[in-house]
């Protein structure tokens, strides 16, 4: 299993730009971009809570566990 970040989907649903979200949760746009692309080792509960608060959603709306693609191994 691997964790996939669905932040871009939630941003589209809320019609919010990455720039606005990064400004409201207090992290850099670069870090938010890395988070959206899943190129991070992890996300702090503090950051997750802020994103959930701003986007009015649950952590499960942002993160999804999916089976690893066997071809990618």
Partner 1 sequence: MNERTFRRIQRLARVLKLACTACLILMPAFFIYAIAIGLAGEPALQREYADYVLPPVIPLWTLILVRLIQAVSVLLIFYVLWQMRGLFGLYLDGETISDRCATRIRRCGQGLIYIGLAGVLSNTLIVLLLTMVNETGPQTLVITFSQGDIGFFLGGGLIVVIGWVMGEAARIAEDNRGFV
The residues that touch partner 1, with contacts defined as CB under 8 A, are 27, 31-32, 34-35, 40-44, 47
Round to whole Å and give the CA distance between 31 and 69: 26
Round to whole Å and give the CA distance between 31 and 36: 9
At closest approach, how far in Å is the CB of 29 from partner 1? 11
Helix (H) or strand (E) holding 45: helix 45-55
Residue among 13 and 40 whose Cβ is closer to partner 1: 40
Residue 2 three-state SS: strand
At closest approach, how far in Å is the CB of 34 from partner 1? 7
At closest approach, how far in Å is the CB of 71 from partner 1? 26
């Amino acid at each position: 299993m691997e964790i996939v970040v669905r932040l871009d989907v939630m941003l589209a649903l809320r019609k919010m730009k990455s720039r606005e979200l990064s400004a409201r949760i207090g992290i850099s746009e670069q870090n938010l971009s890395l988070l959206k692309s899943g190129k991070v080792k992890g996300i702090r509960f503090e950051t997750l809570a802020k994103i959930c608060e701003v986007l009015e959603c649950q952590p499960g709306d942002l993160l999804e566990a999916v089976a690893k693609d066997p071809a990618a191994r």
